[in-house]
Structure 1
């Protein structure tokens, strides 16, 4: 087979890129190693920036999102016995975020891809990317028991940190910057009404907690735990009791932790990673193949969307005019926004979590930072601007 753009990875980045290029009349083939049921049921992020919402709408993927998504105008910070709400619209000129799970975005994109009859191969495991620095790179992949090749004008790796696309960049020019955090998140999905109509981020001497939601009847809740924690060591009642203690909601009118059946439980390690450059020859990286952020700042999915939006524009320009100007700028354009998101995610993470190595002095610095957000409009505006999302081509 030959195609203009070969896409490795059928997650939100790969599927959205295929949709954007389809709308521009550019043919693609998408290879996804897992089966459709697995891809459509992976539990991932659920906060969409304003820019992500706008891109999905303009790509024709926003109908169900607009019907079922939950628009949020702010978040609540809880710390040191206090609570403070950060109001996004008043601080950003009207921007908001949308709660709509990545799982649902993926389902919507797959449904549209099926309607368009665009090539989307499930169970197609990419084995290698070859000839990356030529004008006809190849993807070797295994599908239905046979090894096959896909020749492309361009290859886009949306296949995560351990994927083959990242390995196509020679180690002599590839640099990866990483940080591993000394804690993880224990996350649950619960058949219970959300604590509050917006997200609650709680700093506590017992550790961080986050109260989020998926729908008006399904809650998504997180607790900071030690690295290496086994979810089996946290029975449901222990989780609910710890959430009660860390969120400290007693006495707050209209804010209540409702307990319900836990339908999913998992431990999520936390790390930051950036690979540079995001392009080698005719191979481009997008999403987790190029960068990973801790989930505290809700940036993972949104960075993937911004990557493929920038890349789609560049590929459309190259396809229509033979100009490589935007393609040549792709890595630098994306990395400016990536590093800003990494900084924001790092600040949110290190400010809100209890580091086991922290001294009382460092804990007081965390509380001072949170107090600054509560009393300074400028500090709150900086948080709101980053949380709702910087411009796609920042």
Structure 2
């Protein structure tokens, strides 16, 4: 078999790349080791930057997003017994975030690729990358071979693509945080119209949502937290303790339908390319989820790569492909910094250090009282503009 671009991984990055390439007349094959049911059912991030929403709509896969997504014009920072709204409509006019689950984006993209006759293969075994530093790279899987012009690794942090780059080529940067997030999905109406980021002496909590009937919550816990130690009653008690800190707010409880513990890390691999192999999304970088940047960075990556590949096929020039990593990493490191900043602003690091806690409170007070500081948060949260041409 032969295709122009072989894509490893059928998450949002791989599927969107395949769809954007299709719109440019470029063929691709997507290989995914998991089942379609798993890809469409895995609950992940759900906060879309303005640019991500615009990209999906412009690509013709945003109809359901526009109908069912929940646009928000602000978020609330809650600390010290009070809530403080960061008003996007005032600070960054014309920009919102939209709450729409990653699994819903995957469903939309799979449907679009299959409707267009795209080649997306699930439950593929033993994917391996070969000769990526030559002019004839290829993939093998399940006893078959797929020759490609280029290979793109969109298979996540634990995938096979990044390890296919020889040792010594990549420089990796990593930050492990001394806590994790206990994530909870509940069949209950959201208790607020917008996301609430709460900083308390007991740790961070986040009130989010996935739909008018489904709410999403997170609690800061220890990195080795045992999920079995968190029965539903304890989860609700702790959420109420951390979120019911302002007058008049009551947390609505209900049936919990999913729980999980997510480690907090920052990770970047440089460069994001080697020979004819390109990395996109979590295969190249991980951000702590506090800043809601993971999915949005993946979309930014594939926008840059689509333009570069289209330029290569149209003109024969590899100039944009050669600059792919450099172009992406500017945004990646800005998102790393913003995610680190949001994480350190809101989480409890050392309960025995009153000096550090007072500094944290002072910073929060500054962000919520200074329009300039609030605008910095707002413009990063809704997403910085794409570079010209991307």
Whether TM exceeds 0.5 here: the answer is: yes
Query: Any conservation in 2 of the 1:196–1:256 contact (CA below 8 Å)?
Result: no
Output the aligned Cα RMSD.
1.1
What TM-score, normalized to structure 2?
0.97
Structure 2 counterparts to residues 4-83 of structure 1, below 5 A:
4-83=4-83
Tell me how far 1:121 sits from its aligned partner: 0.4
Residue 309 to residue 358, structure 1, CA distance change in 2 (3 Å): farther
Q: Distance in 2 between matches of 1:115 and 1:263?
A: 32
Query: Any conservation in 1 of the 2:83–2:246 contact (CA below 8 Å)?
Result: no
Alpha-carbon deviations, 1:77-101, whole Å to 9, x = none? 0011121000112111321110000
Tell me how far 1:250 sits from its aligned partner: 5.3
1:309 to 303, 318, 322: 303
2:242 to 241, 246, 249: 246
Q: Distance in 1 between matches of 2:126 and 2:370?
A: 50
| Residue in 2 that maps onto 1:148 | 144
Query: Any conservation in 2 of the 1:182–1:356 contact (CA below 8 Å)?
Result: no
Query: Any conservation in 1 of the 2:81–2:245 contact (CA below 8 Å)?
Result: no
| Residue in 2 that maps onto 1:176 | 172
Work out whether 1:366 is the aligned partner of 2:353.
no
| Residue in 2 that maps onto 1:376 | 370
3-state SS of 1:311 partner: helix
| Residue in 1 that maps onto 2:381 | 387
3-state SS of 1:203 partner: strand
Q: Distance in 2 between matches of 1:370 and 1:106?
A: 36
3-state SS of 2:125 partner: strand
3-state SS of 1:3 partner: coil
Tell me how far 1:126 sits from its aligned partner: 4.8
Structure 1 unaligned spans of 5+: none
**Does 126-135 or 226-235 show the bigger shift?**
126-135
Structure 2 counterparts to residues 319-334 of structure 1, below 5 A:
319-334=313-328
Residue 286 to residue 275, structure 1, CA distance change in 2 (3 Å): same
| Residue in 1 that maps onto 2:91 | 91
Query: Any conservation in 1 of the 2:244–2:251 contact (CA below 8 Å)?
Result: no
Alpha-carbon deviations, 1:192-236, whole Å to 9, x = none? 111200000000000000000000111000111111111110111
Tell me how far 1:393 sits from its aligned partner: 2.8
Q: Distance in 2 between matches of 1:183 and 1:100?
A: 26
Q: Distance in 2 between matches of 1:350 and 1:66?
A: 33
Q: Distance in 2 between matches of 1:155 and 1:89?
A: 41
Work out whether 1:348 is the aligned partner of 2:347.
no
